[in-house]
């Protein structure tokens, strides 16, 4: 068995990816390891990859090459996270070392000298949050989702919905509240489908949480609007409690035609209606959204509808991503692809439209 005592753990991904990286760091420390700030100083390097789009995948490949070059002779580099499941062929062409995806991560305990195993990487971690401008307890309430969006490669990493028991989440929330924490974030691959596999739902969980006494606020991250038909009204009622301060819900497009091509299970009207009612219930609510531009078949008229939605809804934060083909997705074989220069222009225009909407709101 390798006698390694210094580990470097790096994540280039989303909040759930960072939760796992932070959980691994905690486990290593609990086993007597020292966490290094630099790959070149470590005996053991873990790279928690995120590869939801082509840009992130390219970043992963270049980072792997950099770590392989920087590491000490005899140090071991292991690639974890989403990339081993999303594009194992490309990873194999660029990296000959050990790869572990989320389903095989527990085997890490067989590879390193530890006293406590890696079967249960903690599902919640304190992470810095831009909205709070400080640490918040990020609680991952489930993994996987119930939908099959045409462009989504992450579905190949988490093919099934697995929800955590509500009792377990509530105990964690109460414990953190008792310890003095006031900032919370509920997250998952899709929090909107939480509980459908265990006979409950997100509204039921949040109703129990917001009944807890104390001064605290909650961010909801990754709320797929496909849940709105089912639980939209209940969510609006919970927002009235003033506990929910920030919601991240990806619109992806302002065109019903494009949403249908993407296999998204909601309409633009349903999304607009939820945003309006949520803000009517709590005027201080912040809303962040994502748009994907350049999905195959997106016309100028379709894109104009996305711009209209940005201008009308006046989101507090907007991220715009360019569509990129991902292996083993429904969209992989789609025709009518959009040229890269048009995708670039549309991405810029979404950002500009959001800046204009913020300026208009500020001056009104």
pLDDT at 104: 85
Pairing relationship of beta strands 244-248 and 162-163 according to DSSP bridges: unpaired
CB 185 within 8 A of CB 138: yes
> What pLDDT digit, counting tens, does each position of 295-321 carry?
999 999 999 999 999 999 999 999 999
74 and 185, same domain (yes or no) = no
At 238-254, the pLDDT tens digits run 999 999 999 999 999 99
**Is 227 inside any structural domain?**
yes
- Are residue 328 and residue 193 in the same domain, yes or no? yes
CA torsion sign for 306, 308, 312, 314 is: positive
CATH number of the domain to which 223 belongs: 3.80.30.20
Asked whether residue 181 falls in the same domain as residue 99, the answer is no
Helix (H) or strand (E) holding 341: helix 340-363
Check residue 364 and give its pLDDT.
58
337 and 189 housed in the same domain? yes
Helix, strand, coil distribution of the chain in percent, nearest 5 = 45, 20, 40
> In the chain, pLDDT over 70 holds for what percent of residues?
95
Q: What are phi and psi of 120, to 5 degrees?
A: -125, 85
Say yes or no: 325 and 183 in one domain: yes
Tell whether 202 and 103 lie within a shared domain. no
Q: Is residue 118 part of a domain?
A: no
pTM for the model stands at 0.91
Residues 256 and 183 in one domain: yes
For the chain, percent of residues with pLDDT exceeding 90: 79
Over the stretch 128-152, which tens digit does the pLDDT of each residue have? 877 777 889 999 999 999 999 999 9
pLDDT at 111 exceeding the cut of 60: yes
**Position 119 in a domain:** no
Q: What's residue 68's pLDDT? A: 95
pLDDT in tens, 73-97: 889 999 999 999 999 999 999 999 9
Contact 63, 83 (CB under 8 A): no
Same domain, 84 and 215: no
Domain CATH number, residue 27: 3.40.50.12160
For residue 362, the model assigns a pLDDT of: 67
Q: Is residue 359 over pLDDT 70?
A: yes
Tell me the pLDDT band of 64, cut-offs 50, 70 and 90: very high
Say if residue 293 is in the same domain as residue 316: yes
The residue out of 110, 133, 159 marking a domain boundary is 110
Q: Do the domain assignments include residue 116?
A: no
pLDDT at 118 (0 to 100): 58
Q: Are residues 130 and 204 in the same domain?
A: yes
Stronger pLDDT, 103 or 330, i.e. the higher one: 330
255-288 residue pLDDT tens: 999 999 999 999 999 999 999 999 998 999 999 9
Give pLDDT, residue 107.
80
pLDDT of the residue at 141: 97
- Please give the pLDDT value at position 336: 85
Least confident of 49-63, 123-137, 151-165: 123-137
Higher pLDDT, 273 or 121: 273
Mean pLDDT of the chain: 92
Helix axes 268-281, 228-239, angle to 10 degrees: 10
Domain boundary among 71, 87, 110: 110
Better pLDDT: 191 or 112? 191
Q: How confident is the model at residue 29 (pLDDT cuts 50, 70, 90)?
A: confident
Specify whether 88 is located in the same domain as 134.
Answer: no
Mean pLDDT (whole number) for 2-30: 84
Q: What's the pLDDT at 363?
A: 65
Q: What is the pLDDT of residues 195-247, one digit of tens each?
A: 999 999 999 999 999 999 999 999 999 999 999 999 999 999 999 999 999 99
Domain-embedded: residue 328:
yes
Residue with tokens 């296999």: 263
User: Which pLDDT score is estimated for 23?
Assistant: 85
Task: Among 80, 110, 140, give the residue marking a domain's end.
Answer: 110
Using the predicted structure, report yes or no on whether residue 291 has a pLDDT greater than 80. Answer: yes
In a domain, 130, yes or no: yes
Q: What pLDDT, on a 0 to 100 scale, did the predictor assign at position 20?
A: 86
In a domain, 298, yes or no: yes
How many folded domains does the chain comprise?
A: 2
Nearest C-alpha neighbor of 294 from the set 239, 244, 242, 349: 349
In degrees and rounded to multiples of 5, residue 262 shows phi and psi of -75, -10
Mark whether 243 and 333 lie in a shared domain.
yes
**Which residues sit opposite 319 in a β-bridge?**
290
Range(s) of the domain holding residue 55? 6-110
């Amino acid at each position: 068995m390798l006698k390694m005592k210094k580990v470097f753990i790096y994540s280039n991904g989303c909040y759930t990816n960072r939760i796992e990286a932070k959980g691994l760091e905690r486990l290593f420390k609990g086993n007597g390891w020292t966490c290094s700030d630099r790959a070149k100083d470590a005996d053991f390097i873990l790279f928690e990859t995120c590869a939801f789009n082509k840009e992130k995948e390219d970043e992963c490949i270049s980072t792997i090459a950099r770590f392989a070059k920087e590491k000490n002779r005899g140090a071991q580099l292991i690639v974890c996270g989403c990339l081993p499941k999303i594009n194992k062929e490309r990873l194999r062409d660029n990296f000959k070392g050990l790869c572990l995806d989320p389903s095989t991560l527990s085997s890490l305990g067989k590879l390193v000298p530890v006293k406590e195993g890696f079967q249960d990487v903690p599902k919640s971690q304190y992470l810095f949050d831009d909205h709070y401008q400080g640490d918040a307890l990020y609680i991952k309430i489930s993994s996987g989702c119930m939908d099959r969006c045409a462009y989504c490669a992450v579905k190949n990493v988490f093919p099934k919905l697995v929800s955590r028991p509500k009792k377990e989440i509530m105990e964690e929330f109460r414990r953190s509240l008792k310890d003095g924490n006031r900032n919370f974030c509920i997250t998952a691959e899709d929090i909107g489908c939480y509980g459908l596999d265990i006979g409950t739902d997100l509204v039921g969980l949040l109703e129990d949480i917001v009944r807890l006494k104390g001064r605290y606020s909650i961010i909801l991250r990754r709320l797929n609007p496909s849940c709105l038909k089912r639980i939209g009204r209940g969510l609006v009622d919970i927002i009235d409690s003033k506990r929910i301060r920030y919601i991240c819900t990806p619109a992806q497009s302002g065109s019903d035609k494009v949403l249908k091509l993407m296999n998204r299970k909601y309409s633009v009207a349903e999304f607009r209606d939820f945003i309006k009612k949520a803000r009517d219930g709590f005027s201080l609510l912040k809303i962040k959204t994502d748009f994907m531009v350049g999905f195959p078949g997106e016309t100028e008229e379709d894109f104009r509808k996305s711009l209209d939605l940005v201008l009308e809804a006046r989101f507090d934060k907007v991220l715009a991503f360019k569509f990129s083909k991902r292996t083993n997705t429904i969209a992989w074989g789609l025709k009518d692809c959009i040229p890269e220069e048009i995708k670039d222009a549309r991405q810029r225009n979404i950002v500009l439209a959001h800046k204009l909407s913020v300026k208009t709101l500020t001056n009104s």
